[in-house]
Structure 1
């Protein structure tokens, strides 16, 4: 035993006990209790230190998670406020959105919002199915009407031409003119039905994009339509090679060309020009003519179905409506600038990757 410790113990013992033989095992027991004290104290201190470090790290992690939870709550609160504002409601699900939120409120909000979104999605799906069914019915009806009407119209027109050929010597000049008017109106009706069908089914048929020269395509259209001798076409030098649905693009330009020819057929020297403006996102074109122009009062509704400026020609009032629908189909637009007795320019944009 350490001498100082033994001395302190003996100091408080009576003299008769101090020299008692039983003191020896007693002092040995005390000595054994102090064996490895320093090591045990060191281990205890180390254990305490480790526990403190673990507690510090745990508290640090808890603070971090608490901060994340706060951010999530703030984000959810802002989301609900935004949704509520977009819905133009002062209160949502019976709670005032201006009040402070807590976790239970947010949980209730999210649950109710999820239910409402689910109901809206179900309703939307029903509406889409109904709309799809109605569109299909309308398209079927348009095709049926087109077939049922065009067949007798063409038969009547053919019969009128046969009568004119067989009986033209017996007809008076007035009768001949009337028969000619009947034939013209039958032809106009046939074009009208075709135009309605094209407009109704626009976008229903899938087309594959192909690579082609726009200038070659436009010159093919020029050869297809009727162009009086007093009218010439001019094409910009930078017309592009295109990757696009060719048939729809040709349909768009054919209607614009036909419209421009009608506007310039009475001009001494009519000129129809096609321009192109390079752009990364859109195909941008212009079709200009130096014809009679469009009065300002008619410019706003010129792209509506059956809107036309004159009734004495074979115009159906559908051509520009088809142009507009094609532009919208490709996430673009069409607009015009026109001045009476000066000419008209149509500006067309079509998204390249729509």
Structure 2
């Protein structure tokens, strides 16, 4: 026991008239031992409390971080909902965005509603696509049936008119009129065929295979009727492309035919060129023909639009060209000067670019 404390107790007992005996030391030592145990236990409790406080602090920090993360998530989701409102209701988007300051439960409800709306919208879209696919097939079938029905009487008219001409009984104006009938029948036949070709551009089986454009265009030039005063040339090696050869044949054939048809020069030319632009191929077909006025640069790509009133021309060729290029995610444009010539440019994406 502490000596000072023991002296203080002895003095206090003596003042009270109590004799201090040796056996009192046993009692005082027991009291001292109790205090010592108490202090040790108190120190242990304090250490335990300190450890618990550290753990609680760490736990609190962790909870605080999680709370901040949840707030960020809620903020992000709120912004997303605001954008959904903005795109779906542009007129009252500002009001909707202000209303999207939501708590977690309200945000969950809004997201649930949006999810239901998206699911319903997708369902309606699938129904609409199915209906459009059905209507498109019916229209395609109808076009072939109508074209067949139209060609039959045209073929009959053509045959009967030729019989009259061969018999030789019709002369003068009558013979000229019969020739006009044949021309119009041929033009009508070409129109029907052109419409069929235009409608079939994106109906052909989408089989993609490597196409050597050098061979394809060379064969095309060999089989086309090219006047003696016009030279068609390929300036650079053309690349391999992937797609359907029928489409690419129509593409180059229509552009080359137009360049030949509208060339009034004594010595005409059609030049086919190619450039590699990295991710895309760029082709050009240039001529020194009539040229095209700026007011026609957009019109010529529309169906049945021609640069003149010549009934022999269908006005579908460039429409087919545009549809093919769009089918392959390309672009087309032209540069032209009247009486100087025209250059058509078009690009196609590189395979796997």
What's the TM-score, normalizing by structure 2? Answer: 0.85
- The reply to whether residue 253 of structure 1 matches residue 252 of structure 2 is yes
Deviations 1:265-287 (A, max 9, x none): x4311211112121222221111
Count residues in correspondence: 348
Post-superposition shift, 1:31?
5.4
Distance 1:174 1:35, change over 3 A: same
Contact 2:242/2:351 (8 A) holds in 1: no
The aligned residue for residue 278 of structure 2 is 280
Post-superposition shift, 1:337?
2.1
Distance 1:225 1:159, change over 3 A: farther
Bigger mean CA offset, 344-353 vs 52-61: 344-353
Q: Which runs of 4+ in 1 moved over 4 A?
A: 1-21, 23-29, 34-39
Secondary structure of 1:302's partner? helix
Aligned pairs for 1:267-346 (under 5 A) are: 267-346=265-344
CA distance in 2, matches of 1:204, 1:18: 121
Post-superposition shift, 1:213?
2.4
What's the TM-score, normalizing by structure 1? Answer: 0.85
Secondary structure of 2:299's partner? coil
CA distance in 2, matches of 1:159, 1:5: 145
CA distance in 2, matches of 1:97, 1:40: 61
- The reply to whether residue 206 of structure 1 matches residue 230 of structure 2 is no
Post-superposition shift, 1:90?
2.2
CA distance in 2, matches of 1:100, 1:68: 19
Distance 1:188 1:17, change over 3 A: farther
- The reply to whether residue 127 of structure 1 matches residue 128 of structure 2 is yes
Aligned pairs for 1:1-354 (under 5 A) are: 13=13, 16=18, 19=21, 27=28, 30=31, 33-34=34-35, 40-86=41-87, 87-90=89-92, 96-98=96-98, 101-103=101-103, 104-165=105-166, 167-168=167-168, 170-264=169-263, 266-353=264-351
- CA root-mean-square deviation: 3.0
CA distance in 2, matches of 1:126, 1:341: 53
Post-superposition shift, 1:53?
1.7
CA distance in 1, matches of 2:93, 2:310: 60
Post-superposition shift, 1:108?
4.1
Distance 1:114 1:341, change over 3 A: same
Distance 1:223 1:25, change over 3 A: same
Post-superposition shift, 1:305?
0.8
